[in-house]
Amino acid sequence: MAQIQRRTTTSIVADELRKRIQNGAIKEGEQIRQEAIASQLGVSRIPVREALRLLEAEGLITLVSHKGAEVTRLEPSEIEELFEIRTMIEVWLFEHSVAAITDEDLAEAQECLDAMRKADVKDWGPLNWQFHVALYRAANKPTTIKLLKRVHDNADRYVRLHLTLSRDAQDLAHRQHQAMIDAAHMRDAYLAGRLLSDHINQVKGQLLASVEKRRKTA
């Protein structure tokens, strides 16, 4: 029973750290001190250490010898690669999903988009992921979606930071998301895939320019 409880605590700690990394509360390159996290969350260091191992496997944390854990800093080439992976996987999923997508799936996607329009950008991550899953679920590719979640989690912190700095980028994202829903309503797989590809590539281009500019002036 104690082992089950420890795994549960580890999962809770990992979820909290993941959330802090993705919303920018813990920034890239920042060191994560086990003692401080354990004290903040009211747990021992054991679940914190195990949570850090989980996040390392996800690519969010780097364990550095003699320094401990720090938030992984992705190079522009690595960020670009994540978006290239997204394009390949997500367009394939969306195109396969459109023919079988249900009214319930589309209603869920619309609810997520409407919620994102009202929410603070730092809270977009879970809503954005739910939006995309609603559009891809009918493809019936659960293993692919699990793989995609890891890619999303690694890219999300950079996307949200970029969107926080650009109201125009937020408005464009909303319009592009709505267009994808509309294409799915029409059951037009080709249009849906093209709109999604354009959306991902648009975000990639804007994000890379933002990251490079910010790091040059840092």
Three-state SS for 73-141 is CCCHHHHHHHHHHHHHHHHHHHHHHHCCCCHHHHHHHHHHHHHHHHCCHHHHHHHHHHHHHHHHHHHCC
CATH for 31: 1.10.10.10
In which residue ranges of the chain is pLDDT below 70? 1-7, 165, 218
Is the domain of 110 the same as that of 199?
Answer: yes
Rounded to two decimals, the pTM is 0.81
- The tens digit of pLDDT for each residue in 143-175 reads 999 999 999 988 888 887 777 767 888 899 999
| Closest of 58, 56, 43 to residue 8, by C-alpha | 43
Q: What is the tally of structural domains in the chain?
A: 2
Say if residue 116 is in the same domain as residue 212.
yes
Element (H, E) at 65: none
Answer yes or no: do 105 and 45 share one domain.
Answer: no
Whole-number pLDDT of residue 118: 93
107 and 190 in a single domain? The answer is yes
Residue 3's pLDDT is 46
Tell me how far apart the alpha carbons of residues 156 and 169 are, in angstroms, rounded to a whole number.
15
Same structural domain, 59 and 94: no
Q: Report pLDDT for 1.
A: 37
Determine the structural domain holding residue 183 and report its residue range.
Answer: 76-217
| pLDDT for res 2 | 44
Q: What is the pLDDT of residue 79?
A: 92
- Please check whether residues 30 and 82 belong to one and the same domain: no
- pLDDT for 23: 79
Q: Are residues 115 and 20 in the same domain?
A: no
pLDDT for 5 equals 46
Give the closest residue to 154 by CA, choosing from 80, 51, 49, 63: 80
